[in-house]
Amino acid sequence: MSESVTEPYSQPEPPEPVLAAAAERGADWALIPPDVAAEPPSELRYRPVMHLAGSIGALVRSRAIVRSLTFRDLRSTYSQEVLGIAWALLGPVTLMVVFTFLEGRLGGGIDTQGVWYPVFAYVGILPWTFFANSVSGGGTSLVGNPLLNKVYAPREVFPIAKILSATVTLLCATVALAILFIIDGRLPSVTSYWVVPLLAILLVFAFGITLLISGLTVYLRDMRHAIPLLLQLGLFLTPIIYGMDEIDEPWQNVYVAVNPVAGVIDGMRRCLLYNQAPNLVFTAIAATAALVWALGAFLVFKRLETGFADVS
């Protein structure tokens, strides 16, 4: 926020005659503020103290609020609809069908290394859908939220609740993956346990981006329109339709550093479909990038936080 120089308060307060009279009679409750400065002395300026451990502690203490917000979000999103939680499946499945159709029409130009294309695409679609749901839901979770200046809790509880409800949606959408595996007659690879660290990287990255965007959106409302656009771009710039091999070898590391979701998806394909461990370089880069984003975003968020209630 810019620090503009404030002009002296133009009209000096006229003393309240009622109070002047009371004070004359010796009433000590009547404060007559004759000389309140136009501006507070600068040494009084409130400076939020950045305290990472303290912030995390406060967040942990607010877990009941996070849980309630998540439940509230899921309940109100799905309970009133005929298809209910099935909508969580329909989005990614539709994408998968469209991609499969396109891939067929284009003559199977994408190298899936022998894996049935719907499975190949769906393993990419799942993490991306989670990421997109987090960012689009969480990104707008602060701006115009009536609870923002009603509920006393660290402000990150609102985006975090949206990330958690996106996580639940992700788990539901995984059902379709199981069905695809059965149709394909395929068993999960023995290396599947790698999914856990990969998901952790995804979660950390989604946390960072969602937090950052939610904070910025409070001040720059344009972001609300920019988010869907950016996510749509991301859908095609991330190896979902295609594999990592489509990217030139020397650029792959940079690519993963900029977009850790790419590293996660590549890792998931390797460990779920190809019976391999994820590429350790990619995974390490993605993990580092995700952590940097998350930490940076958290600090920026905490810096912006003091003004949220004033603006929103």
Work out whether 65 is an interface residue with other proteins (CB under 8 A). yes
Stretch 19-38: interaction string toward other proteins, x if CB under 8 A: x--x----xxxxx-x--xx-
Helix 117-139 and helix 260-273, axial crossing angle in degrees, nearest 10: 140
Q: Which residue has the tokens 């880069």?
A: 285
Q: How far apart are CA 75 and CA 78, in angstroms?
A: 6
Task: In angstroms, give the least distance from the CB of 207 to other proteins.
Answer: 21
Stretch that binds other proteins, among 17-25, 107-115, 129-137, 203-211 (CB under 8 A): 17-25
Tokens found for residue 270: 């390797």
Work out whether 149 is an interface residue with other proteins (CB under 8 A). yes
Opening angle at CA 189, ends 183 and 190, nearest 5: 145
Does residue 238 contact residue 128 with C-beta atoms inside 8 Å?
Answer: yes
For residue 28, give the DSSP letter.
T
Nearer to other proteins, 2 or 105 (CB): 2
Work out whether 116 is an interface residue with other proteins (CB under 8 A). no
Nearer to other proteins, 12 or 104 (CB): 12
Which of 131, 3, 198, 163 is closest to 67 using CA atoms? 163
| Among 26, 45, 229, 249, contact with other proteins (rule: CB under 8 A) | 45
Q: How far apart are CA 308 and CA 216, in angstroms?
A: 10
Task: In angstroms, give the least distance from the CB of 248 to other proteins.
Answer: 37
What number of chain residues touch other proteins (CB under 8 A)?
51
Greatest distance between any 2 Cα atoms in the chain: 96
Binding site for other proteins (CB under 8 A): 2, 4-7, 9, 13, 16-19, 22, 27-31, 33, 36-37, 39-41, 44-46, 48, 64-65, 67-69, 71-72, 75-76, 79-80, 146-147, 149-153, 221, 306-307, 309-311
